[in-house]
Structure 1
Amino acid sequence: MKSRDYIIVSHVYALFPLQPCFSSFSVSPQVIMSRKVVRSSKFRHVFGQALKADQCYDDIRISQMTWDSNFCSVNPKFVAMIVDASGGGAFIVLPLSKTGRIDMSLPTVCGHTGPVLDIEFCPHNDNIIASGSEDCSVMIWEIPDGGLISPLKDPVVKLDGHSKRVGILSWHPTAHNVLMSAGCDNVVILWNVVHGEAVVRIDSVHTDLIYSACWNRNGSQILTSCKDKKLRVLDPRKGSVICEKDKPHEGSRPVRAVFVSDGKILTTGFSRMSERQVALWDPKNFGEPLTLQELDTSSGVLLPFFDPDTGIVYLCGKGDSSIRYFEVTDEAPYVHYLSMYSSKESQKGMGYMPKRGLEVNKCEIARFYKLHERKCEPIVMTVPRKSDLFQEDLYPDTIGPEPSVEADDWFSGKNGEPILISLKDGFVATTKNKEFKVIRKTFHLGTAMVTTAAMRPKIPSAIHTICTPDEPILKEE
């Protein structure tokens, strides 16, 4: 090629760099350097896809409450959804295989006297689920393996300790039978569910409504966001503040926060001009965010779901129809946009399947359960791969269902790291769910029985449940 032809071609390529007809020509170094370098990632082509209609759950009256919780919880056995109910609060629990049209007469879990605001399955026993309600109580339920055959009205345990509605629940990730609840009384309570009592009551830290509360990976810290515009990292057993950040987002709308890799914190919120934002923070230096990105001007709260195995965070906008996903790395700008799943129907809530419930032979790295007005639609996130072999780089050992520490030991100060399992052959439960027993020491006091935690250290903040003589008391161990 003559030099004059080379100059003409390189100029044309500079004007139209993406035209394939010039791709076979040599390009000058200056043109190459001017092109944007694309960051390599095995998750760049992750795509979301809704399952077919016959794999959805149809004709469900999803709750009309405006509370900003997920309204859905899911595990490898069941999917649970908060539904509208007359005369109180209720939610339904379906075996995963029970797809299609759901009969209106399907039995519900209906023991609350006010609307249910949040539900969450126990990570260590797939048959146990907790619910929080406007009636100020937390209830623990045991679901039979085949699902409900009659309405479930009597919880295994009722936890009374909040003075206003309870809108946030979160099970401890590694300690057996430890549950965190947060209510509109601005109080966080840590429950020993087995004893049916509150062991830690954090009631002097938050000065306003708590927007979100979650654990870190081993449950040694709690992260909360609050209407007082503060982000707080707490010592859960002492109830003290380790560090805090004022105004992680300038806007007045709700902020959500989750721990991500290496102890960093990802937040979603709003700018002063009501633009939705995502930011990443290092709690060791809370001064400025590692990155802060503006997304759009939608008004729905962004619910974050973080997958520590892949480093991907999924942002699901409540009230809109999209799921954005980003890869969180230790290289600037730290939060890298991957793609977005969009559909026509807006989402009223979202359930997130634990990694052990995914189909690894299909390269599925995440599965969501999207709530519509009248149905629940599973959405799978897949990495396109040609090979049918197990993809070890996509599935490192992940958190399994076995707890690593018991509740009493954890409250005494012992931490436990997550017990990991391999997904190479798909997850198969090697041990049966531990029997859920409530340990109660009882003595008679007049016509009532008072449940107490005898033989245990007296904790000033403990709340004791009063039971009537008709209420069944499980045998003590």
Structure 2
Amino acid sequence: MSRKVVRSSKFRHVFGQAVKTDQCYDDIRISQMTWDSNFCSVNPKFVAMIVDASGGGAFMVLPLNKTGRIDMSYPTVCGHTGPVLDIEFCPHNDNIIASGSEDCSVMIWEIPEGGLTAPLTEPVVKLEGHSKRVGILSWHPTAHNVLLSAGCDNVLILWNVACGQAVLRLDSLHSDLIYSAVWNRDGSRILTSCKDKSLRILEPRDGSVISEKEKPHEGSRPVRAVFMSDGKILSTGFSRMSERQVALWDPKNFSEPLTLQELDTGSGVLLPFYDPDTNVVYLCGKGDSSIRYFEVTDEAPFVHFLSMYSSKDSQKGMGFMPKRGLEVNKCEIARFYKLHERKCEPIIMTVPRKSDLFQEDLYPDTIGPEPSAEADDWFGGKEAPPIFISLKDGFVATTKTKEFKVHKSLLKTTSASAAGTSDSEDVQSVKKELKSLRAEVEALTRRVNELENKQ
């Protein structure tokens, strides 16, 4: 009698669990925009969510510990004149977040320690270069102050945020709307999916296409794709019959997928979240009420279904916590921040183990917050391999967070009149200061003369 062999894997019993109600973020009006981005970004300090706003675009940034009901009057980041479409925290400074909007601009914001106490309307930097709405943002994983943006003008721009300049503008590679654009682990490649039904691997610094795959999925609905840690590519899309699919590709031989699996007939785009430390990929469908997760291995069928977390409420967006923000003493290997209509609910993925000791096999060294190159050096051709940290005692910021410095003199983002106004204000304040210093010096000189005369 043949017995079915069950594949052994330490992630076979991973289970997802929503936190208790009092640990959710309640009474938040999540944006109603129909845009396929995550709508949420999270790091070990803050959770940010795109919210509905009258007369412009806004997003809310909450300290992680500010759970429970959020007051209607809680301050937001509200400097955009059109709805916000995508937000992403900087991986090298937990207080810096970028936002892209329908108003065609990208803005960089600095969130005060402890969160907002008043509405934030003035960005640190405003990046202008797109002619249509900006729907995709992605920080370089290892180079400091390098940001990728993609707009509905089919253009990719690589910015040096510190001096507010577009260093590379890739405007002839995509003939249609860009659905997604992601970096590989060391930021030496960019992977894009496009409405023209092609996946492209780009060399970002010279703007060339290294390889291209037409029609990774036969359907006409949006495709999403991410790099695996070994250079392979995982994509999600739709079949001709509108069934949702997941596929794995080897870019060295793009002709056939290593595996292509049909999942279901859902209509929402499947957003892939990949953890390179465990090789587990989580698929979250927009509008679904479930998260499927798979382990990617070197043996067929390569993408192995592990399990599915389900709840009764559908998700409008999803945030994915960086590894250094997890509780390693509880064997937590992933944490999602699921957006409902009116709240944000953390969901914790755990490997069930009895021991309280640090589980080294679950937590290999992971990418830390320290960048390995500055923007100028990276654009100049410097390689920037990731700097890894151990999570053995949980993540503690041993080094000061990479400070965000902007070369004000180089900023060309504010309009000339605004720049003129701020410059004249600066000159006025310096003049005022000089005047008061001069008065002090004159008073001291008189006092000295008086004392000398008395002698």
Task: Judge same fold: TM > 0.5, yes or no.
Answer: yes
Q: 1:471 Cα deviation (Å)?
A: 3.9
Q: Hey, what's the Cα distance between the residues in 1 that align with 2:281 and 2:415?
A: 39
Q: Hey, what's the Cα distance between the residues in 2 that align with 1:375 and 1:368?
A: 13
Query: Structure 2 counterpart of 1:225, which letter?
Result: S
Q: For this pair of structures, how many residues does the alignment match?
A: 425
> 2:184 matched to which residue of 1?
216
Aligned-partner SS, 1:361: helix
> 2:403 matched to which residue of 1?
435
Asked if 1:145 is matched to 2:136, the reply is no
Q: Hey, what's the Cα distance between the residues in 2 that align with 1:202 and 1:73?
A: 26
Query: Structure 2 counterpart of 1:337, which letter?
Result: F
Q: 1:105 Cα deviation (Å)?
A: 0.1
Asked if 1:115 is matched to 2:83, the reply is yes
Deviation by residue 1:108-149 (Cα, 9 ceiling, x = unmatched):
000000000000000000000000000000000000011000
8 A Cα contact 1:438 1:474, kept in partner: no
Q: 1:376 Cα deviation (Å)?
A: 0.1
> 1:400 matched to which residue of 2?
368
> 2:327 matched to which residue of 1?
359
Asked if 1:410 is matched to 2:378, the reply is yes
Q: Hey, what's the Cα distance between the residues in 2 that align with 1:214 and 1:169?
A: 9
Asked if 1:201 is matched to 2:169, the reply is yes
> 1:225 matched to which residue of 2?
193
Q: Could you tell me which of 31, 35, 44 is aligned with 1:67?
A: 35
Q: 1:473 Cα deviation (Å)?
A: 11
- The structure carrying a bigger helix percent of its residues is 2
Q: Could you tell me which of 55, 74, 83 is aligned with 1:87?
A: 55
Q: 1:472 Cα deviation (Å)?
A: 6.7
Q: Hey, what's the Cα distance between the residues in 1 that align with 2:324 and 2:289?
A: 26
Asked if 1:97 is matched to 2:65, the reply is yes
> 1:162 matched to which residue of 2?
130
Q: 1:440 Cα deviation (Å)?
A: 3.5
Q: Hey, what's the Cα distance between the residues in 2 that align with 1:254 and 1:247?
A: 11
> 2:387 matched to which residue of 1?
419
Aligned-partner SS, 2:420: coil
Asked if 1:468 is matched to 2:436, the reply is no
Q: Hey, what's the Cα distance between the residues in 1 that align with 2:370 and 2:53?
A: 35
> 1:326 matched to which residue of 2?
294
Query: Structure 2 counterpart of 1:382, which letter?
Result: T
Q: Unaligned 5+ residue runs, structure 1?
A: 1-30, 443-450, 453-462
8 A Cα contact 1:50 1:379, kept in partner: yes
Q: Hey, what's the Cα distance between the residues in 2 that align with 1:226 and 1:389?
A: 45
> 2:145 matched to which residue of 1?
177
Aligned-partner SS, 1:204: coil
8 A Cα contact 1:437 1:474, kept in partner: no
Q: Hey, what's the Cα distance between the residues in 2 that align with 1:351 and 1:465?
A: 34
> 1:292 matched to which residue of 2?
260
8 A Cα contact 1:440 1:474, kept in partner: no
Q: Could you tell me which of 260, 266, 275 is aligned with 2:243?
A: 275
Instruction: Pick closer, same or farther for the CA change 1:472–1:132 going to 2, 3 Å.
Output: farther
Q: Could you tell me which of 184, 192, 214 is aligned with 1:246?
A: 214
Q: Hey, what's the Cα distance between the residues in 2 that align with 1:166 and 1:472?
A: 29
Q: Could you tell me which of 100, 111, 115 is aligned with 1:132?
A: 100
Q: 1:261 Cα deviation (Å)?
A: 2.4
Deviation by residue 1:207-264 (Cα, 9 ceiling, x = unmatched):
0000000000000000000000000000101111000000000000000000012100
Q: 1:465 Cα deviation (Å)?
A: 7.1
Q: Which stretch of structure 1 is more off in the superposition, 105-114 or 428-437?
A: 428-437
Q: 1:464 Cα deviation (Å)?
A: 9.3
Q: Hey, what's the Cα distance between the residues in 2 that align with 1:284 and 1:180?
A: 25
Q: Hey, what's the Cα distance between the residues in 2 that align with 1:325 and 1:470?
A: 54
Asked if 1:48 is matched to 2:29, the reply is no
Deviation by residue 1:29-52 (Cα, 9 ceiling, x = unmatched):
xx1xx2221110000000000000
Query: Structure 1 counterpart of 2:421, which letter?
Result: D
Alignment of 1:378-393 (within 5 A): 378-393=346-361
Q: Hey, what's the Cα distance between the residues in 2 that align with 1:225 and 1:70?
A: 16
Q: Percent sequence identity over matched residues?
A: 84
8 A Cα contact 1:303 1:315, kept in partner: yes
Q: Could you tell me which of 186, 189, 192 is aligned with 2:160?
A: 192
Q: Hey, what's the Cα distance between the residues in 2 that align with 1:180 and 1:110?
A: 22
Q: Hey, what's the Cα distance between the residues in 1 that align with 2:367 and 2:415?
A: 33
Aligned-partner SS, 2:22: helix
Query: Structure 2 counterpart of 1:126, which letter?
Result: D
Instruction: Pick closer, same or farther for the CA change 1:400–1:474 going to 2, 3 Å.
Output: farther
Q: Unaligned 5+ residue runs, structure 2?
A: 427-455
Instruction: Pick closer, same or farther for the CA change 1:471–1:346 going to 2, 3 Å.
Output: farther
8 A Cα contact 1:159 1:465, kept in partner: no
Q: Hey, what's the Cα distance between the residues in 2 that align with 1:472 and 1:110?
A: 24
C-alpha RMSD of matched pairs (Å): 1.5
Query: Structure 2 counterpart of 1:171, which letter?
Result: W
